[in-house]
Amino acid sequence: MNVQRSFSRGSESAAAERSGTLYLVGTPIGNLEDMTFRAIRTLKEVDIIAAEDTRQTRKLLTHYEIATRLVSYHEHNKQASGIELIRLLMEGQSIALVSDAGLPAISDPGADLVASAVEHHISVVPIPGANAALSALIISGQPTDRFSFVGFPPRDRKPLAQWLQQLRKQEGTLICYESPHRVGKTLAAMHENWGDRPIAMVRELTKRHEEAVRGTITECLQWLEENPAMGEYCLVIAGYDGTVTGEGQEEEDRPWWKGLELSEHVSRYEEQTGDRREAIKKAAQDLGLPKRDVYNELMRK
């Protein structure tokens, strides 16, 4: 059991009393004016700022005249750096974790640091800010009452197809990120596996060239043919409504025996069970027919 009371020192954990606090600080996703007063104050007050890309974060800190010590924490050094950050937190130092843009710990190694902090009974406090996925969702025109953020699609074709098949019957709106050089391939794969669903392609959020292209997957693919992809994309796709199917979905959803001759249908079961009567019974159940009708039909052939 781990109970955290972020703003009172009456913690159930003695370790939490002694340790510092890990702050997850939201940063702008493009427009510097989206930095909150609380985020600026927190970055000035903490002992250390852990950043995904120190060069990118230094620009932000310079703009707001923040002189706090800056260290690196990213995917390639997260194991060694994470251990050191936890040690410093347990010694009582306060640390702010930031990503290159938006909220940390979403599709980045910050999630591992948070998990480790929780395991060590270190308080983790969110400092909310801009987020690309939610910003794209609320302007997409898609339903917002139920949605799932599914991160970045797999790069390779086979894992991508498996990923899409796992998600294709999810009813809530789906949100994912995609790079400009892969967005066309990903949309084509979505069309193949999901059919021609409504979608919004949102890019350059909060920046000068902010753009939302809304339509079907086919229409968005046509748009990309005439307007080359530029900038990072957030795709907001309508969920499964029970009626739209992609190429190959109909075959997958059909029973394995659909289209087989009755004799072949029964033979398949007979090979599995080794029992002719049981095979006829199973085939009859599949077809919703009495066993006698199946038997008589087989006898006529």
What is 37-82 written as a DSSP string? HHHHHHHHHSSEEEESSHHHHHHHHHHTT---EEEE--TTTHHHHH
Which of 182, 271, 175, 188 lies closest to 222, judged by CA?
Answer: 188
Query: How far is 283 from 290, CA to CA, in rounded Å?
Result: 10
Q: What is the pLDDT of residue 65?
A: 97
Kindly give, in sequence order, each residue whose CB lies less than 8 Å from that of residue 114, ignoring residues fewer than 6 positions away.
Answer: 22, 24, 97, 105, 124
Query: How far is 239 from 197, CA to CA, in rounded Å?
Result: 8
In tens, the pLDDT along 89-143 reads 999 999 999 999 999 999 889 999 999 999 999 999 999 999 999 999 999 999 9
Q: What is the pLDDT of residue 83?
A: 96
Burial of 73 (0-12, 13-18, 19+ CB in 10 A): buried
User: Could you give phi then psi for residue 70, rounded to 5 degrees?
Assistant: -115, 130
Burial of 233 (0-12, 13-18, 19+ CB in 10 A): buried
User: Could you give phi then psi for residue 260, rounded to 5 degrees?
Assistant: -80, 150
Could you state, in chain order, the average pLDDT of each consecutive group of 10 residues for the chain (301 residues)? 74 65 96 96 98 95 97 93 96 96 91 95 96 97 96 92 91 96 94 93 96 96 93 96 57 67 85 85 79 79 62
What is 129-165 written as a DSSP string? ---HHHHHHHHH-S--SSEEE--SPPSSHHHHHHHHH
C-beta atoms surrounding 262 within 10 Å: 16
Tokens 């799932």 belong to: 148
Query: How far is 25 from 42, CA to CA, in rounded Å?
Result: 8
Domains and CATH numbers, the chain: 14-130 (3.40.1010.10), 133-245 (3.30.950.10), 255-299 (no CATH)
Task: Give the 3-state secondary structure of residue 285.
Answer: helix
Half-sphere exposure for 207 (CA within 13 Å, toward CB)? 16
Q: What is the pLDDT of residue 248?
A: 47
